[in-house]
Structure 1
Amino acid sequence: MIKEYPHVETEQRGPVLIIRLANEKASNSLTREMRMSLRDIVREIEDDHTVRAVYLTAKGKNFCAGGDLRMLTDANEPWPVHRRFRHAASLFPPLMKLNRPVVCGVRGVAIGGGMGLALMTDLVIVGESAKFSAGFFRLGAVPDCLTLYTLPRTIGLSRTRNFIYTNGSWNAQEIVDNGLALKVVPDDQVDAEGIAMAEKLAAGPAEVMGVAKQLLLKSFESSLDELMDYEGFGQVLAMSSVEFREGLQALVEKRPSDPMGAAAAVPYNDGLPSAGGGKG
């Protein structure tokens, strides 16, 4: 069943939630409506344990053209910009820290903030028409949508400077060669590949992957000792999970592991018991 939000559509296929940017006439630019919808969807995912992985893509020939031109024209005074970024803080970091694996499928252009949106996900699959473009300095804007966080961590500071200062663009193969995407496929196979990857991740230890994601996001700013501690705390959680126990038992019994099935067989407890004492 497809659920429609302003400028976004969602569809759940088993354990995978598909999110499609759906404002084709504006090349899926990040309108107010789209931002609000994405924030609400991320919040819903956080509370829905039936979603074990996410696939983010877009309708039409382009993934996302970045900032909405009308918004940039009508709301560029200090306080509107401040408020917009306060709202962005309620969307972009939670998306990047979402404790489920997120796969992104990109066709056509991902410009500026559109590229930033793609880079907030865990794995990216690009179609042959895909193009990542900086575009910020062409407009006279500072790179945003967490681009200054994700790009240096992925490709290094020097290559980030080269890319953004020259208003660079990368085609699909260059995106892969720079380590920003997993593979290039024909445009008409992007969704099939992306959904298959999301399904594969959903069938694995998805909740443990969510813990690992939190640690990865701390890796650059943490000391050696701090990260050692984080790994230890994370492993305590991982090894107490039904996903780990299933994986270990499957290894001992020399059979395929089924973390998703093992997790489904255990009553879910969200840690927030209702007033009646029931489990969430």
Structure 2
Amino acid sequence: MSNVTDDAVVFEKVGKTAVITLNRPQTKNALDEAIMAALPEVVRRARDDRSVASVVLTGAGGAFCSGAYLGSASSSEKAFIGRDVVLASQDWFAELVGMEKPVIAAVDGVAVGAGFSLALAADFVFLSQRARLLPSFLGLGLVPDLSMMYVLPRLVGLAKAKEIVFSALPVAVEDAVALGIAQAVVPVENLLDTALAYAQRFDEAPPRALALAKTILNRSFETDRAALTQLEAAAQSLCVASDYHAEAVRRFTAKEPAIYPGPARR
């Protein structure tokens, strides 16, 4: 286990998993200037470290993220404050969403507004029993941001996404699982261990093939079938020529244990 601590964000390696922890418990890990300044470097570190096979995103102090830090908003051009805040996050947020590694969110306590959106950036979400997913935007006279209006309809369908956003009410953890927003609800004392165990299932996965599969799947809703087939064909050509594939075939032919038996078989 190794770690690097920024005052606002903690980067820790547990085996082949990078754990990114928002570390502003006094504000329930609101996206203040310090967190926003630290996140780009931390996300890129996880992305660029070839020894990292997966990422777990969580928050310190019994909270995931309470959204944008409203107390820091200051500008002489008030009409542009919201635009500036949203656009300032897009570089690191896009890199997190597009990370060519599985990203697992371990959500305890509040995930409010942009904090809810941040959880949706993960490929898989685990909730504690006391997690509170709250799309609070309309309650403040705002619209959802950090790509919630892109991701949520793709997860739950357009009508259900409208119901969640328009109501501005918390999504019950059991409903989040039923809707496909989260994988499971677990006791708070087991939350991080559960997320780590899930992440570690990908330790021996083929990194290049997984990266290509995630990249293409992330574009599947806005790519037509013919174009997607071309992406699949190009990706498959790369995978067929890989050393990983050659070794996997050799093991299969020799009736030896697979490199990556797959999460469901463990």
CA contact (8 A) 1:116 1:144 kept: yes
State the match for 1:11 in structure 2. 12
Alignment map for 1:139-154 (pairs within 5 Å)? 139-154=140-155
Cα distance in structure 1, aligned partners of 2:205 and 2:121? 21
The gaps in structure 2 that reach 5 residues or longer are 261-266
State the match for 2:104 in structure 1. 103
State the match for 2:30 in structure 1. 29
Matched, 1:225 2:196: no
CA pair 164-80 structure 1, distance change in 2 beyond 3 A? closer
CA contact (8 A) 1:23 1:59 kept: yes
CA contact (8 A) 1:21 1:58 kept: yes
Query: How big is the shift at 1:174?
Result: 1.2
State the match for 1:127 in structure 2. 128
Cα distance in structure 2, aligned partners of 1:254 and 1:196? 27
CA contact (8 A) 1:99 1:209 kept: yes
Q: How many residues align?
A: 259
Structure 1 stretches of at least 4 aligned residues deviating more than 6 Å after TM superposition: none
What secondary structure is seen at the aligned counterpart in 2 of 1:218?
Answer: coil
Deviation digits for residues 125-181 of structure 1 (CA, Å, limit 9, x no counterpart): 111111211100011111001101110110011001011011121122111011011
Matched, 1:118 2:83: no
State the match for 2:263 in structure 1. none
Query: How big is the shift at 1:79?
Result: 4.2
Query: How big is the shift at 1:245?
Result: 2.7
Matched, 1:210 2:211: yes
Cα distance in structure 1, aligned partners of 2:57 and 2:10? 10
State the match for 1:62 in structure 2. 63
Cα distance in structure 2, aligned partners of 1:19 and 1:87? 20
What secondary structure is seen at the aligned counterpart in 1 of 2:201?
Answer: helix
The gaps in structure 1 that reach 5 residues or longer are 260-280
What secondary structure is seen at the aligned counterpart in 1 of 2:20?
Answer: strand
Query: How big is the shift at 1:80?
Result: 4.3
Cα distance in structure 2, aligned partners of 1:184 and 1:113? 21
CA contact (8 A) 1:129 1:171 kept: no
Give the aligned CA root-mean-square deviation in angstroms.
1.8
Cα distance in structure 1, aligned partners of 2:72 and 2:161? 27
Query: How big is the shift at 1:237?
Result: 2.2
